[in-house]
Structure 1
Amino acid sequence: MHVGNQSAVTEFILLGLSTDPLVQVLLFPIFLAIYMSTLIGNLLLIVAVKTDKRLHISMYFFLANLSFLDICYTSVIVPKMLVNFFAPKKRISFIGCTTQVFFYLLMGETECLLLALMAYDRYVAICNPLRYNMIMNTTVCLWMISMAWLTGCILASIDLYFVFRLTFCGPNTINHFFCETPLLLQLSCSDVSSNNIVKLVGTVILAFIPLSLILFFYFRIIATIIRTHSGKYKTFSTCVSHLVVVVIFYGSAMFMYVREEQRTRTNGVAVFYTVITPMLNPLIYSLRNKDVKRAMRRLVR
């Protein structure tokens, strides 16, 4: 990042979801309740997986990591949004915006890879059940999740570098409730052609490839289940929760980025995949999974 970039613009203004003070007062308790529910639900799921020995398999190891990611993902955005509901001028410093962009990209990109790993785990469990424990052992799972985090960190750092090497010399108002790369590019007075190339490459790596792998794994899973004469519906039920999460995550994110030129009209979609989805994930998994439901019920008692 060039130090000189900060001489012109030292802070950004986040307009948020509404400029009406009354609406902001009404939104605050709603988003506070959603945020607290997200923290409690995902923390309960993590502790349940940790304390229940029946959940000490790769499927629930990845699920606990997904819950941790969701906590971090929403914590990057929501606390600042809650503060801004009552702030007279919704400022975020240049460094604060940089930090928010980096961790938002890191969590989102890592989650894309983690969802693909979870699909692979179900593929091995259903298509190679006799070798499942040998293939998905503790060492392999730790290596997989470490590589997902490392890849997300590297790609987020590259994206961040290409954004904040630009010059910001004009308006500093962001019509959104958090700092996001496409909106920052609109505020830059530099050439953003290199950023568009980086964005295209990143989209292929983090959207097309993981999603293609997920579709491939589930195609093989469905083909295996069709050939099975007994217990096929019960077997596939372990995949339903993951499929629902994949559809919600990729569906809302793709819809958001396809309509970047109309970003001011898609704040509701951004709220859905940055605030609502992390709250829904533990509910989706606990409602569809008897083992998780039993462990969480025991933990609450």
Structure 2
Amino acid sequence: MGPGNHSTMTEFILAGLTDKPELQLPLCLFFLGTYMVTVVGNLGMITLIGLSSCLHTPMYHFLSSLSFIGLCQSTVITPKMLVNFMTEKNTFSKPECMTQLYFLLICIISECQMLAVMAYDHYVDICNPLLYNVTMSYQVCSWLVVEVYMIGLIGATAHTVLFFSAFNILAPTLTILGSYVSIIAGILGIHSTEGCSKAFSTCSSHILAVTILYGSAAFMYLQSSNVSSMDQGKVSSVFYTIIALILNPQTIA
């Protein structure tokens, strides 16, 4: 019995953000500028935190790692996008696609985990201030950062090979929610207005960063698959994979 008809997929054709040629160059210049700002901003943040001894605290240690993740994520996505803007045939081989997906997932999962670690840091700072220096010692912070990258690596491998994503999203989400439930309970127990204001100001920037990441991702994935929503999804995906990388470190700082 002869073999049946079959075909092997070797490359993808990228639809791109727009089908209007006159917009290709302006979009290329816009995203080039965005990438440069992201690189300079994140490298500047990492350098500043590394050189300033007064910033050698757990919060800024985590912020430096978040900046590094943002720098890597932007580098995974943007250069290929810029090349596609300048070429007529936007093709992407399967190995290239899987490689980019793998490293992008490492960055996204690590970012989610890092935001969860930062939420826990805020919880300890507000709810257990007397034990903060012991609980969030240099050794503990270093191990937390290492674990974030390990979870990102393991999670990306599992997601790419087995499409296993529930743990990658659910675990940091529950950690963030649990931390802020405890933080809110702790804040309600603070009787001074100044203390409440300081606690809220400590958390507000982190909450904004979490909202940017999870809000844009939810807007992208939790909608119908019609043509209009696909166009909106493109905008949302660009926002949380590129634009948000400019906002996150500066917002939290």
TM-score (ref. length: structure 2) = 0.91
Query: SS state of the match for residue 248, structure 1?
Result: helix
- Render the CA deviation track for 1:48-91: whole Å, top value 9, x for unaligned: 11111111111111111111111111111111001110112112
Query: Number of matched residues?
Result: 242
Q: Deviations over 1:224-256 (max 9, x none)?
A: 122112322022201111000001101111221
Q: Tell me which residue corresponds to 1:283.
A: 250
* Aligned counterpart for 2:179 among listed residues 180, 194, 217: 217
What does residue 255 of structure 1 align with? 219
CA contact (8 A) 2:66 2:249 kept: no
- Determine if contact 2:124/2:132 at 8 Å carries over to the other structure: yes
> Tell me, what secondary structure is at the counterpart of 2:130?
helix
Q: What is the letter of the counterpart of residue 245 of structure 1?
A: A
What secondary structure sits across from 1:85 in the alignment? helix
> Which residues in structure 2 correspond to 1:182-197 (within 5 Å)?
195=163
Distance 1:127 1:282 in 2: 24
Q: CA RMSD in A?
A: 1.5
Residue 140 of structure 1: how far off its partner (Å): 0.9
**Which deviates more, 214-223 or 265-274?**
214-223
Query: Cα distance, 1:264 vs. partner?
Result: 2.2
Consecutive unaligned residues in structure 2, runs of 5 or more: 1-6
Measure, in 2, the Cα distance between the counterparts of 1:63 and 1:114.
9
Query: Pairwise mapping of residues 1-301 of structure 1 onto structure 2 (< 5 A)?
Result: 8-162=8-162, 195=163, 198=164, 202-203=165-166, 205-230=167-192, 231-259=195-223, 261-262=225-226, 264-265=230-231, 266-286=233-253
Q: Distance in 2 between matches of 1:81 and 1:59?
A: 33
Structure 1 residue identity aligned to 2:241: T
Q: Residue 46 of structure 2 contacts residue 64 of structure 2 at CA under 8 Å; is this kept in 1?
A: yes
What letter matches 1:249 in structure 2?
Answer: L
Q: Give the letter for the 2:216 counterpart.
A: S
Paired residue type of 2:221: Y
Q: Which amino acid aligns with 2:172?
A: P
Cα distance in 1 for partners of 2:142, 2:17 equals: 39
Partner of 2:4: none
Partner of 2:182, secondary structure, is helix
The SS at the match of 2:225 is helix
Paired residue secondary structure (1:12) = strand
Distance in 2 between residues matched to 1:88 and 1:209, nearest whole Å:
42
* Code of the aligned partner of 1:53: S
What percent identity do the matched residue pairs reach? 43
Task: Tell me which moved more, 7-16 or 123-132.
Answer: 7-16
Give yes or no for contact 2:123–2:180 (8 Å, CA) kept in 1.
Answer: yes
